[in-house]
Every structure is written in C-alpha cells, then in structure tokens.
Amino acid sequence: MKSNFKGLTDNEVQINRQRYGSNILTPPKKESVWKLFFEKFNDPIIRILLVAVFFSLIVSFVHQDFVETLGIIFAILLATGVGFWFEQDANKKFDLLNQVNDDTAVKVIRNGNICEVAKKEIVVGDIVLLETGEEIPADGKLLEAISLQVNESSLTGEPVISKTIIEADFDDYATYPSNRIYRGTTVVDGHCTMEVTEVGDVTEFGKVARESAMKPGEETPLNKQLDTLAKVISVVGFSLGILTFFTLFVKDIFLGGYKYTFSQLMLLGSVLFAFGIFLSKIWLPIFFDGLKLIKKNIRQPGWIGRSRWILWFGLAVLSFVILCGVCYTMEIKPLEPSSWISIETAGRILEYFMVAVTLIVVSVPEGLPMSVTLSLALSMRRMLKTNNLVRKMHACETMGAATVICTDKTGTLTQNRMQVSGTNFSVPEHQVFQDNDFSRLIVENISANSTAYLDFTDPNKPKALGNPTEAALLFWLNKNKINYLDVRNGIQVIEQLTFSTERKYMATIMDSPVLNKRILYVKGAPEIVLDLCENERTDLVSVRENADSDFASVRETIDAQLFEYQKQAMRTLGFAYKELEKTESRGIKELVESGLSFMGIVAISDPVREDVPDAVARCIHAGIDVKIVTGDTPGTAKEIGRQIGIWMESDTDFNIITGVEFEALSDSEALERVQKLKIMCRARPTDKQRLVQLLQQCGEIVAVTGDGTNDAPALNFAQVGLSMGSGTSVAKEASDITLLDDSFNSIATAVM
C-alpha cells in the first residue's frame, strides 16, 4: 500500500453518502400478500366464472335459490386459494435459499488509517484494500494491482480475468476495462487497492439487478390456450344466451296470447336498449373477442377496459331519456300507464332473460380452473423431489412446452472448477508419477512454487483457495494420492517471485530435500518459460545437454502439443527448473533469465459436467434447441459446444456470433439469424436479453439457464428462467425455477 493513500475523512463519508447514495441494492419490491392473492383472479377462466357469478346472483334472487351461485364461488376460491398457497410455500423455501449479507467486513482507508466497515457502509471515494478470496464490494478503478486476477463469472461468465493498472497490458477484447473491478466479483489471486466510483444500484451489478426486476409481461403457453378457450366459451355462451332471449321474445310477440300495442313495444325496446348499454362493459369485450376468433384484427379500444360501471349506468340513463324523447315526437307518452306492459308480461320477459342467463352460466366449466391448478400444484411437488424448486406455478407447464434453451457455460455446462485435463512431462511413463527423483521434482515444483491452498473442511467437496489454475494442479496431486502440504512444509523457501500478468510466470528458490541442493523452480505461460530454457531434462541420470538445434526440434514438438491443447480451449502451463549453488548471490529475476531446463507442460480446463452431454442429447431429441450464451472466447465456446454435442463439423461462422457483432445487427437482420445461432460468445447481459426477446418474436418458447448476475435480465424475460442453487441472489430472484443441485440434467427432468 502506498503511504499517500489517505482515504476519506468521516465528514467526507457523510457528504458522499448523501450525494451518491449508500452501497445497498434496492430489493425487488415485494408484492403484498393480498395483491398476490388477487392476481390469481386474472386467470381467463376465473374471470369468466366471476361474470357467471354476477348473472347467477340475478337468477338466484329471482328464484330464491343460491346453491348454484355458492357452488361457483366455492370453485373460484378453491382454485385461487390452492394456487396461492403452493406458490407462497415455494417462495418461503426460496427466501431461505436467497439470503444476502450486506454486513460483511471490508478493509478501507479512512482518516489516514486502515479500518474495517460493513460492505453496506462503503461510499463513493473510499479506498478499499482487497486480498485473495475477498468479494469486491462496489465498482471502482484500480490504484494498485499486484498479480491481480478476478473471477468475473458472476458478471461476465469468465472465471479468471487478469487486471492491471499498466496500460500496455490492457486486454482490448475484455468485456470490461482491465483497470476496473466490479461489485459481486471475487479476487482469486494477488491483491489490490481500489477507489470506489459507484455504489448500490448504479454499479454494474445493481443495473443488471434492476433490469431483472422489470415485469416482462410475457404470457405462458397455457395462459394463451386458456385465454383462447375463455374467449370461445364467452362468445358461444353469450351468443346462445342472446339468441335464446330474442327467439323467446319474438315468439311471444307474434305467437303469444298477449297482444302488444305499438307504444308498449317502443317503450319496452327503449328499456331493453338502455339495459344493453348498461351491460356494455361485459358484452363489448366479448364482441371484440369474437372478431379476433374469426381473424378480424380489430383491437378493442383501451378505454373500454378502463371504464367504470358508473359510466355505463350514466350512458344507459341518458340513452333511455333520449329514446323517451324520440317516443314523444312519435306521440307516444311514456308516462301514461297505457304505454306500459302488464306485470304478468314483465314477469314473462324476465323469465326469458333468466333462461338466457342460465345458458351463459352453465356454459362455463366451473371445475376447469381447479383441475388445472391441482395439476400444476402436484407438478410443483414432483419437480421439487427432482431438485427443481418451482417458484411460479405456470413454469411447470411452460417448461414442458419449451422449444429453445439458452444456457450460460460457466457453472451450468461446466463445473466452474479448473482441473488438469492433459500433461506432457518428459519422464513419467503414461504421465503417472513414478518412484524417481524427476517425478519428485515435478511434485516439488507444483507444491511449493505456488500460492494456492485447498480447503478440505468438506471432504466430499474440497474448495480451491487462491488462483484457480494453481489450485487445479494441487487437485491433480491430490487425485494422485500426493499431499501437497506435506511436500510444501518439508521445504525451506529462500525467495519467491509471485505470478504477475506482466511477467506471466512465477519463480521460487528453495532448498530441495529431493536432491539436497538449492533449486530454482519456474512455472508460467509455456511460450515464456520455453524462451527462458536452454535444454530439456528427460531424467537426472542422463542429462541431455542438447545443442540449440536439438532443443529447437524439441520445441517444435512441444509447440505442436500446445496447439492441440489450445484448439480444445485449454489453458496451458510450462514448467522448468535450475540447480543452483548455495553460494549463488544473484537475485531471482536475474537467475530466471537463462539456463533453465524444461520439464514439460500441463493443460488445464474447466471440464464439462459429466451429465451434461446426455441431458443436452435428451433435450435435442425432444425437439428443443440448445444455445450457448457465454462471456468466454469463441474458441472456448466452440470447444464446449463440441463436447456437449451441439457444435458440429458442418457448422460455420453463421452459427456463432460475438456480443459486439450481435449488437451491430439490426432487428430484422438479427431475426433472420437467431434461430440458426448455436453459440453467442463475449456476450453481455443486454445481448442475452435481446436474444431471448427476438427468439420469442419468432414464436419460440424460451427457457434460460444461468447462475450469474449477468444472466438475470434474460432469466426474467424468458418464459421460464432456471437459476442454479449456488448462483447469485440476483439470478435466483429473476428466475421461475431454481435447480437445487446445479445440474443441467435437472432441466431435462423438468421438461419430462
């Protein structure tokens, strides 16, 4: 830490908190329990039943028989109540899973002193000190960066990103600038000092969280089908009711025993017309639904749905008054009893109306909402047993109707844990450690020339502490029944040069118990390490002091192997060593520059989950397209696509696109391409969201999987969002289903 970092004073902290806000994300607005309950009444069939209750009440008051009305009310309350209870139960489980801690202590410099404050107390302008393993509390720019590597998988999908303040080392192709770090990401190697520039909702993390909280309003396939069914029931029921009423009424006029005068017919027509106006709020939407069913694309004016009953009552009274005025002009006097129909006739007309209403009521299937609700509720319970925590009931049905799954890579398709996938050392036969000194030197290089550790608190699920690439090497030793700590603790380290993005290697001088000599070990980027080597050691008995031409041929072989590893999107490390005299006085940097002996290379990758290829094959067999959307490079994304079975040799550049290229496409160009795309790489949150919305415009039912904050907007806008149980709180909040076992295989199970 530089001594000139004084940090903020207490007064400046207060000023900046008032000016820029606190470092707290505004939580998604929780709907009241009553509002959530009443939302259940938006179901199209439930709405028809509510209309049926209204008409049934009229019939019940006339006949003094309320059994039918009570039955419909009970069916409505049962269907809405069961659905509401099951979703509330799932949300309680989800809230326990998704707790967020804003009280984590963070080291900052204030008033010239280093102190700890809660993450939520951080303000713009704070100088924050971060070390390996710590989560970055806010967005900021780097003031110092020593061997800094950040896990941005929660924000960009990339597990290890090198960060630096040296402009010459900036990565022009990185998703975010190399000298900036962001809230929600984690330091996996090195340490740094940062100045906070954004807090709370204006951080990248906060912006994505806000985007994911927007209501997309995308209807589910079941709701669309039920809505169509509701329209058919409404149109058919009302048409039959109106036809029945007028048939009986006309029959009564011409074939009935009572003869109507012209005055009575005019006045009765005025009453019926006014009553029809009063009921316009009910029959007008049904009329427009009927037009839609016969493919007449005439939209219902918005003001009809927003209008209140008092408006229609006023229009009914006004129309009746106007019609009475018309009657006066025709010398019909509405106030004279001779113009009125008899009580007996009025009762008969009311009876015809009751018959029509009864037809409308009985046309509505009261049991349908309950049967749909129970089916979905039972599906929720069954899916929970297969590690699918369903938060929103409709997701059960929609998942089965999905036609496209857009999945992120890191943590969903892959294990999000680097591991050794290939080795090419010069001595161990079949790359298995043997009982010889050269194998023991390799073990020393990996164990002691490292800053990573393994946490075996949970023996079934050990954790990597520190650089994920170095930890992968330690996991490899552990897999070969070698305890790296026993080796490390038995060695005296003389001097160490930690890895940096500038040098691209790490070096350690130690007294080796294997040879009882002082040895310099080096590991790093193979091309850098090879440039530092003069020869290749195949064993310790026969030392091949190769001439330059011989080592050049060895290097050609190594370069060919590196090319094969890199084609498979693997990270590679080269290893070398050098024997030293104990009287050696030169510094470690000078010793590294020449005279090293090359030992071999290791390839490291984030392996695909074992169950993913089979699960992807099941989805494809079921007619569901699987698309990868990742922040990784095109090469890595294509290799993962090949391993899981979606990228074929026949595929071309038309089937893959970067986020920058996708953003440059117009909507019409993108619409032509989205269904053919198999991979989107270097994708940002907005790119994934746009992809989902364009696929929906093509008529696809889209499911999205993800575990990072960058996935949240797409999870929210998809018909079904599937988050990982170990994912970020923002991703889980935006999803409909949470996969408790983090397994893509559970998605295939959910479809079934």
pLDDT digits (tens, 9 = 90+) for 366-412: 666 667 777 777 777 777 777 777 777 777 777 778 899 998 887 78
- At 492, the amino acid letter reads Q
Single out the residue of 747, 742, 645 nearest to residue 703, CA to CA: 747
Is the pLDDT reported for residue 254 higher than 80? no
CB 573 within 8 A of CB 521: no
Task: Count CA atoms within 13 Å of residue 147 on its CB side.
Answer: 18
Least confident of 221-235, 275-289, 492-506: 221-235
- For the record, the structure tokens of 558 come out as 């190594």
> What is the rounded distance in angstroms from the CA atom of residue 641 to the CA atom of residue 627?
9
Report residue 460: phi and psi, to 5°.
Answer: -80, -15
Residue 138: what pLDDT? 94
Give CA–CA dist 214/201, Å, rounded. 14
| pLDDT score at 446 | 93
Say how many residues make up the chain.
752
- Most confident of the following: 28-37, 47-56, 113-122, 530-539: 113-122
Contact (CB, 8 A) for 546 and 535: yes
Task: Tell me the mean pLDDT in the region 409-419.
Answer: 82
Long-range pairs for 251-254: beta carbons < 8 A, 24 or more residues apart:
252/348, 252/349, 252/352
| Mean pLDDT on 539-544 | 44
The pLDDT, as a whole number, for residue 457 is 82
Residue 266: strand, helix, or coil = helix
Bridge partner residues of 425 (DSSP): 600
User: In this structure, are strands 702-706 and 404-407 parallel, antiparallel, or unpaired?
Assistant: parallel
316 vs 277: CA distance, rounded Å? 5
Tell me what the mean pLDDT of segment 709-714 comes to: 77
The strand pairing partners of 141, in sequence order, are 180, 195
Cα–Cα distance for residue pair 689/710, rounded to 1 Å = 10
The strand ranges marked E within 554-611 are: 571-580, 596-605
The closest alpha carbon to 138, from 189, 209, 210, 205, belongs to 205
H or E element at residue 122: none
The closest alpha carbon to 573, from 504, 479, 498, belongs to 504
Looking at 151-160, 211-220, 241-250, which range is the least confident one? 211-220
Confidence check: pLDDT of 540 > 60: no
Q: Which residues contact 179 (CB under 8 A, 6 or more apart)?
A: 141, 142, 145, 163, 164, 165, 167, 170
CA-angle at 110, arms to 105 and 116, nearest 5°: 15
Band of the pLDDT at 43, cuts 50, 70, 90?
A: low
Mean pLDDT across the stretch 639-665?
Answer: 91
Give the model's pLDDT for residue 644: 93
Beta-bridge mates of residue 492: 511
Among the residues of 118-261, which ranges form H helices? Answer: 204-212, 221-255
Question: Would you state the pLDDT for residue 443?
Answer: 92
Q: Which of left, alpha, beta for 431 (phi over 0: left; psi -120 to 50: alpha)?
A: left
What is the average pLDDT value for the chain, to the nearest integer? Answer: 81
pLDDT at position 714 over 70: yes
Which residue spans within 34-154 are E strands per DSSP? 105-110, 113-118, 127-130, 139-152
Tell me if 695 sits within 8 A of 191, measured CB to CB: no
What is the CB neighbour count within 10 angstroms for residue 342? Answer: 11
The pLDDT tens digits for 58-96 are: 767 766 777 777 877 877 777 777 767 766 665 665 554
Residues contacting residue 346 through CB under 8 Å, at least 6 positions apart? none
List pLDDT tens digits, range 423-439: 888 765 545 677 788 88
In the prediction, which pLDDT does 86 show?
65
Q: How confident is the model at residue 547 (pLDDT cuts 50, 70, 90)?
A: very low
CB crowding 501-538: b at 16 or more within 10 Å, else e = bebebbbbbbebebeeebbbbbbbbbeebbebbbbbbb
Give residue for tokens 């696929």: 695
Place of tokens 């190594």: 558
Q: 283-292: per-residue pLDDT in tens?
A: 888 888 888 8
Predicted pLDDT of residue 91? 63
Cα-Cα-Cα-Cα dihedral of 203, 207, 209, 214, to 10°? 160
Q: What confidence score (pLDDT) does residue 361 get?
A: 67
Tens digit of pLDDT for each residue in 555-604?
888 888 888 887 787 889 999 999 998 888 888 888 998 789 898 899 99
212 pLDDT above the threshold of 70:
no
Most confident of 216-220, 352-356, 446-450, 558-562: 446-450
The H or E element that residue 455 is part of is: strand 453-455
Answer for the pair 413, 608: CB distance below 8 angstroms, yes or no: yes
Per-residue pLDDT at 234: 78
pLDDT surpassing 50 at residue 2: no
| Residue 97 binned pLDDT confidence (cut-offs 50, 70, 90) | very low
Asked whether the predicted pLDDT for residue 352 surpasses 60, the reply is yes
* 718 pLDDT above the threshold of 70: yes
CA atoms of 411 and 709, how far apart (whole Å):
13
In this predicted structure, the answer to whether residue 539 has a pLDDT above a threshold of 60 is no
For residue 309, the one-letter residue type is: W
pLDDT of residue 406: 92
Strand partners, 127: 109, 195
pLDDT for position 196: 96
Torsion of CA 555, 557, 559, 564, to 10 degrees: -170
Cβ neighbours of residue 189 under 8 Å, at least 6 residues apart? Answer: 132, 147, 148, 149, 451, 466, 467, 470, 499
pLDDT attached to residue 541: 42
pLDDT range class, residue 628, cuts 50, 70, 90: very high
Is the separation of the CB atoms in 163 and 110 below 8 Å? no
Which of 208-222, 464-478, 487-501, 516-530 is the most confident on average? 516-530
What single DSSP character describes residue 8? B
CA 237 → CA 127, 266, 521, 708, distances in Å? 70, 28, 85, 49
CA-CA distance, 551 to 228, in Å (whole number)? 75
pLDDT of 4 strictly over 80: no
What is the number of alpha carbons within 13 Å of residue 728 lying toward its C-beta?
28
8 A C-beta contact, residue 211 and residue 712? yes
Quickly tell me which residue has 């011409």 as its tokens: 254
pLDDT at residue 428, rounded to an integer: 52
Question: Between the CA atoms of 523, 526, 531 and 536, what dihedral angle is there, to the nearest 10 degrees?
Answer: 80
- Residue 99 clears pLDDT 70, i.e. is over it: no
pLDDT 10s digits, 669-685: 999 899 899 999 888 77
- Percent of all residues in the chain with a pLDDT value above 90, rounded to a whole number: 22
